[in-house]
Amino acid sequence: MQLDTIVKGGTVVTPGGTFVGDVGIAGEKIAALGSSLDAAGAKTIDATDHYVIPGVLDVHVHLELPFCGTVSADDYRSGTRAGARGGVTTLIDFAIPYAGDSLNDAADNWMKKAERKSLIDYTFHICITRWNEHKDQIEGMVKRGFTTFKEFMIYESEGWQSDDRALYGTLEKMREYGTMLLVHAESARVLDELIARHHTPELMKQYGARLHPMTRPNFVEAEAIQRAVQWSEATGGKLYIVHMSTGEGADIIRAAQARGVPVIAETCVQYLVLDDSVFEREDGHLFACCPQLKKPKDVQRLWQGLNGGEVSVISTDTCTFTREQKAMWEGDWTKIPMGMPGLETLLPLTYTHGVLGGRMSIEDMCMKLSTNPARIMNLAPRKGSISIGADADLAIIHPTRKHTVDPSAMETNADWSPFEGWELAGFARTTVSRGDVIVDDYRVVGKEGRGVWLRRESGIGNRESMLPGAVSIPDSRFPIPAGAR
Ligand code: URP
Ligand code: ZN
Ligand code: ZN
């Protein structure tokens, strides 16, 4: 077969094993894997002394999101350029219906935000914010090519909050359609009560932004995860806990999975590399996100959960606010726009602190950043692995070359970074999306608007990727060529 491009001589990570060799690309697809592919007539990309890994899927992203009285600062242009620089080739955002919007309207709205701007491929989780109105629209969205839905157990003031009736009813429908419900699990009533008790001028003066972690003890997340798990167990509906931040959450998920409950958990990279001591800093308010950063023991438990298999995915929950937007708080922590930039640093942080930090292998990292997210979100086998027939989405990274995180040199619209000054390896020297080079020599070269919406079919997501121990199971459906180990 005539190949258009050959990625030559890299250390190629596939679900079936890692080998030094070549990846052959024909059109938008991976067409060959081998030790010395015939380069005649093909463009070559030299990957000698580099890892060639599957493009990263960040399945938890908010771009241009109206939230906390402002709009998040990265749109599909800056956000996807940032992602590409960090080796991200697919993202999933959340389409949220606003006043009077149907689920279809929400999807249309988010399509408009992405079209003509997105550099990488994308789709959306469809948010159910008014159960009575939205429940009969779910089936139509499945037919339209959306297979993941989302409910928030908090955010009443945003008009997004779902109650137990909605969670239960949605999970019943997820079982019926073979789809999955993503849940932001925090206990709304207790959280509101704790916030109200602390919302006094004296305490705000005394503690400032530290009130953010002080009013969200771990049981706020743990109780809500436990309750959502209960509804998943009762209905058999597939559940995915987003941005899990607590050790207690990991314990609950592990126990539920052992009972056979169809629940999966994601954490975000910030919960693996930061803890709530950042709130002691003068600019600690910048780090307010929801859920907030937790304690070092939680950080440790989440790494353990990645190894044990109860944490299946690492994402970012990118929701960028500039310093000016964060300054809206004026000393009242309940007014801080919650969220942080993340797309650009997901792979570098996971690689540096996970792989170079000796906490996970490169194969396990690819499982958590690419293969598992693709399988769980019904995007495999098209996305998530270096295998014949898959989209040619690749990140080529140097094993040790480090860059200093410098917001002024980044693609995100954020004028700060939670990781400013950190030395990180794992930025993409080259990012390839469906055969196109979109990052070359660490610089974005791809054209905005080239990204496509990804239609999904239900029921493809595979059960084994949800189970404990699924971190690095070689998958026989993704064979690597004989002699290419
Ligand atoms: O702080 C965050 N995570 N903002 C985005 C909204 C959410 O809950 O994911
Ligand atoms: Zn959330
Ligand atoms: Zn989020």
Q: In tens digits, what is the pLDDT along the chain, a chain of 485 residues?
A: 899 999 999 999 998 899 999 999 999 999 999 999 998 999 999 999 999 999 999 999 999 999 999 999 999 999 999 999 999 999 999 999 999 999 999 999 999 999 999 999 999 999 999 999 999 999 999 999 999 999 999 999 999 999 999 999 999 999 999 999 999 999 999 999 999 999 999 999 999 999 999 999 999 999 999 999 999 999 999 999 999 999 999 999 999 999 999 999 999 999 999 999 999 999 999 999 999 999 999 999 999 999 999 999 999 999 999 999 999 999 999 999 999 999 999 999 999 999 999 999 999 999 999 999 999 999 999 999 999 999 999 999 999 999 999 999 999 999 999 999 999 999 999 999 999 999 999 999 999 999 999 999 987 444 444 433 333 333 332 333 332 22
Residues at Cβ < 5 Å from ligand 2 ion: 184
How many angstroms is it from 483 CA to the middle of ligand 2? 45
Q: Which residue minimizes the CA distance to atom 7 of ligand 1?
A: 290
Q: Which ligand has its closest atom nearest to the C-alpha of 94?
A: 3
* pLDDT in the model for residue 482: 32
Does the CB atom of residue 113 touch ligand 1 within 6 A? Answer: no
* Ligand 1 atom nearest 339 alpha carbon: 1
Whole-number pLDDT of residue 216: 98
pLDDT for the residue numbered 463: 44
Predicted local confidence at residue 462, as pLDDT: 41
Mutational pocket test of ligand 1: of 61, 62, 160, the residue with most ligand atoms within 8 Å of the beta carbon: 62
Distance (Å) from CA 34 to ligand 2 centroid: 42
Cα 254 to ligand 3 centroid, rounded to whole Å: 22
- Measure 326 CA to ligand 3 centroid, in angstroms: 17
Residue nearest to atom 3 of ligand 1 (CA): 290
- pLDDT for 478: 30
Say yes or no: CB of residue 339 within 6 Å of ligand 1: yes
Mutation probe of ligand 1 site: the residue of 160, 319, 340 with most atoms within 8 A of C-beta: 319
HEC string of the chain equals: CCCCEEEEEEEEEECCEEEEEEEEEECCEEEEEECCCCCCCCEEEECCCCEEEECEEEEEECCCCEECCEECCCCHHHHHHHHHHCCEEEEEEEECCCCCCCHHHHHHHHHHHHCCCCCCEEEEEEECCCHHHHHHHHHHHHHCCCCEEEEECCCHHHCCECCHHHHHHHHHHHHHHCCEEEEECCCHHHHHHHHHHHCCHHHHHHHHHHHHHHCCCHHHHHHHHHHHHHHHHHHCCEEEECCCCCHHHHHHHHHHHHCCCCEEEEEECHHHHCCHHHHHCCCHHHHCCCCCCCCHHHHHHHHHHHHHCCCCEEECCECCCCHHHHHHHCCCHHHCCCCECCCCCHHHHHHHHHHCCCCCCHHHHHHHHHHHHHHHCCCCCCCCCCCCCCECCEEEECCCCEEECCHHHCCCCCCCCCCCCCEEECCEEEEEECCEEEEECCEECCCCCCCCECCCCCCCCCHHHHCCCHHHCCCCCCCCCCCCC
Residue whose CA is closest, atom 9 of ligand 1?
317
Instruction: Find the 60 Cα to ligand 3 centroid distance in Å.
Output: 6
> Is residue 56 lining ligand 1, measured as CB closer than 6 Å?
no
Q: Is 261 a pocket residue for ligand 1 (Cβ < 6 Å)?
A: no
- Ligand 1 pocket, residue 383 CB under 6 Å: no
Record the pTM: 0.95
